[in-house]
Every structure is written in structure tokens, then in C-alpha cells.
């Protein structure tokens, strides 16, 4: 096998990158929406609205970087991706507790987070990223 050829990317790794990418896009879209809303509407607390918008955009960059790293098979990307999924679960739970249109969004987020975690801890994903399991020799 030549150095330019690589083994095919496992479907689970591709799916994990897609999940992280979808979550990143959701956070970035929410942050941009909040930013536009804060700048165009009369809000009671402009500083708070801008802080929330910038925070969402910044948080969106984490799963975006993780998705890119997973796509490129970078072993470091698994950590931020797993942390993103773990942090998404309580957010989804809070969304499910709401009495509003946030409930369907909470269901989608919970499904994405659970799916992402399952995909990221899968042995095929771990192996594709070059991460050794405990007790596995180098």
C-alpha cells in the first residue's frame, strides 16, 4: 500500500464527525441569530445579549474543530467531541422540561448527543483514530 493510500474511513467515524458538525452548526446559527437580534431589536440588556451570542459562537467552534479533526482522523478530536456530547445531554434535558417549542429541539439534541457518544466510544472509531485501549500493546 502506498503512502498516499489510506484505509477507508469507517462509517461510524464519518457519522461521529457529522453529528459534531450538526451540533456546531446549531450553536453557530443560534449565536448568529442572538447577535443579529441583539443588534437590531430593542433589548433590555444589550451587554447580556451580546455576551450570550458570543458565547454560543465560541462554543460552536469546539464541536466544529472536533468534527474537522474526526474527519481528518486526528486522535485529539475525540476528547472535545465526547465532552460536547456529555455537555449536550443536560442541555437537552432542560429543553425537554420547557413548556414550549423547545421540546422538539430537546428531543433532537438528546438523540444527537446519545448517538454521538455511542459512535465515539465504538471500538472501530477508537481504532481509526489510533487510540489504544487500556491493556492494548503499542
Q: How far apart are CA 33 and CA 28, in angstroms?
A: 8
Any domain includes 82: yes
Domain around 108: 11-128
Any domain includes 6: no
pTM value? 0.85
Instruction: Kindly state the percentage of the chain with pLDDT values over 90.
Output: 68
Structurally, the chain folds into a number of domains equal to 1
Any domain includes 124: yes
Q: Which whole number is the average pLDDT over 85-91?
A: 95
Q: How far apart are CA 74 and CA 112, in angstroms?
A: 21
Any domain includes 1: no
Any domain includes 81: yes
Any domain includes 137: no
Q: How many residues does the chain have?
A: 138
Burial of residue 6 (CB within 10 Å: 0-12, 13-18, 19+) is exposed
Average pLDDT of the chain is: 89
Amino acid at each position: 500500500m502506498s503512502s498516499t493510500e489510506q484505509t477507508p474511513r469507517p462509517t461510524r467515524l464519518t457519522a461521529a464527525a457529522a453529528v459534531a458538525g450538526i451540533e456546531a452548526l446549531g450553536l453557530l446559527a443560534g449565536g448568529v441569530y442572538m447577535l443579529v437580534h441583539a443588534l437590531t431589536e430593542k433589548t433590555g440588556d444589550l451587554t447580556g445579549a451580546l455576551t450570550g451570542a458570543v458565547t454560543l459562537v465560541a462554543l460552536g467552534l469546539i464541536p466544529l474543530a472536533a468534527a474537522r479533526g474526526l474527519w481528518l482522523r486526528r486522535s485529539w478530536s475525540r476528547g472535545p467531541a465526547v465532552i460536547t456530547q456529555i455537555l449536550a445531554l443536560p442541555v437537552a434535558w432542560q429543553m425537554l422540561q420547557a413548556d414550549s417549542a423547545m421540546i422538539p429541539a430537546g428531543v433532537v439534541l438528546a438523540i444527537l448527543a446519545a448517538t454521538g457518544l455511542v459512535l465515539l466510544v465504538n471500538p472501530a472509531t477508537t481504532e481509526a483514530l489510533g487510540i489504544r485501549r487500556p491493556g492494548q500493546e503499542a
